[in-house]
Amino acid sequence: MFTINKYIYIITAFLLIIVFQADSLAKPPHGMGAGGQMPPTSVETMKVQYVKQNQEFTVTGSMRASQGVTMRSEVDGRVTDIHFKPGDNVASGAKLIQLNQDILAAQLKQSDAELKLAQQDQVRYSELYKSHAVAKADLDKAVATLHSKEGQKDMIEAQLRQKNIVAPFAGRVGLNLINLGDYVNAGQDLVSLQAIDPLDVEFGVPEVYLNKISVGNVISLRSDAYPDKSFSGTVYGIDSKVNPNNRTVLVRAKVPNPDGKLLPGVFAKVDLAFAEQKPVLPVLQTAIVYEAGDTYVYKIIDGKAVKTKVVLGARDQQNVIVLDGLKADDVIVTAGQLKLSDGVFVVSVK
């Protein structure tokens, strides 16, 4: 009797286990719908639409002075005066450096005296010649002597001017390369002078854009030195040949620089826009998924997220242009991609 009851208990327990497991399998897991599917994932989306955008491209340029020179002495001499401080803005004709003039100054005094005497002799010989007291040859000699003394004075004054190094144009001086008392030789570098307002920016334009660029085009440029500031300029010169090495043509533009922030030699990113417009497909940058060097978006098709590879173009602070992979009226996910995988059902909350 005991053995029979024991078997009954075992069989009853076994049947209860089977019933419990069957009931568990019949119920969907926690969070899953009655049909056995996970509920759709909430995401934010946008519909892609074409917009018209001015054609533009960005190249790297270099700032250069509209005029720039390294000042050098024409003659030998000792530096007796420096009339500037590094970084000064100077006017055209401003005296920069003076070399010793003592000997030339003394020679000029002597020349003045000799010239005055020659002038007096010329007057006297003219009167004597009128009264036939001297021959024409004597008068000619007096006139020749006067011209010679005038030439000597002009030469000394020219040599004196060479002892004064002056600015040939208005600009900003750099660091002086000499000091008071230095003896400089003819041709020696003394100081740099750069005209910095306006500045030129020089950049290469790909030959495919040659039919679109012309004198008068407006450019904008940015410098790493001032990342939050944009400068503008106007194209004033286009080279007459294409560089065969990189297939670009050299272009120059004038850039106002009244506060002197930009300096010659600074690299700049030059943006050049054309009036011609073309349709583009911009999407929010938040829609882009980066994976192993490629770029993707999740496109919504029949309520499912479909991972789609895209090719990107230019971008700004908010949007990026899609060059390939999407078409107008496609709906893509802009937020919530971290919860997605290919084929997951989604529902848009925005």
Any domain includes 77: no
Q: Strands 41-47 and 346-348, how do they pair? A: parallel
- The string of pLDDT tens digits covering residues 250-281 is 999 999 999 888 999 999 999 887 656 678 89
Taking residues 213-234, what's their average pLDDT? 90
Residues 157 and 211 in one domain: no
Q: Is residue 230 part of a domain?
A: yes
Mark whether 325 and 308 lie in a shared domain: yes
In a domain, 259, yes or no: yes
Indicate the pLDDT class of residue 70, thresholds 50, 70 and 90.
Answer: very high
Average pLDDT over residues 294-307: 94
Q: What angle do CA 63, 66, 69 make, to 5 degrees?
A: 100
- Does 71 map to a domain? no
CATH number of domain containing 240? 2.40.30.170
* 82 domain-assigned: no
**pLDDT above 90 coverage of the chain, percent:** 63
Q: Specify if 170 maps to a domain.
A: no
Label residue 19 by pLDDT band (50, 70, 90). Answer: very low
Residues 248 and 108 in one domain: no
Give the mean pLDDT of the chain. 87
Distance, in Å, from the CA atom of 129 to the CA atom of 160, rounded to the nearest integer, reads 37
- Rounded distance between C-alpha atoms, residue 343 and residue 41, angstroms: 11
- Residue 37 is predicted with a pLDDT of 63
Domain end (from 162, 185, 211): 162
Task: Give residue 209's pLDDT band: very low, low, confident or very high (50, 70, 90).
Answer: confident
Count: domains in the chain: 4
Residue 27 confidence (pLDDT) above 80: no
CB 262 within 8 Å of CB 241: no
Please count the CA atoms within 13 angstroms of the CA of 304 that sit on its side-chain side.
10
Domain's final residue, options 233, 250, 276: 276
Q: Is 311 within a domain?
A: yes
Would you state the pLDDT for residue 100?
Answer: 94
What pLDDT band is residue 212 in, cutting at 50, 70 and 90? confident
pLDDT at 319 over 70: yes
Domain that holds residue 119: 101-162
Q: Tell me if 225 is assigned to some domain.
A: yes
Please report, for the domain that includes residue 323, its CATH number: 2.40.420.20
pLDDT tens, 76-123? 999 999 999 999 999 999 999 999 999 999 999 999 999 999 999 899
- The tens digit of pLDDT for each residue in 226-256 reads 888 899 999 999 999 999 988 899 999 999 9
Task: Tell me if 295 sits within 8 A of 337, measured CB to CB.
Answer: no
* Same domain for 261 and 292: no
* Same structural domain, 261 and 288: no
pLDDT bin (cut points 50, 70, 90) of residue 15 is low
* DSSP string computed for 315-340: E-SSEEEEEES--TT-EEEEE-GGG-
For helices 102-130 and 136-162, the axis angle rounded to 10 degrees is 160
- Statement to judge: residues 207 and 268 lie in one domain: yes
The per-residue pLDDT for 26 is 46
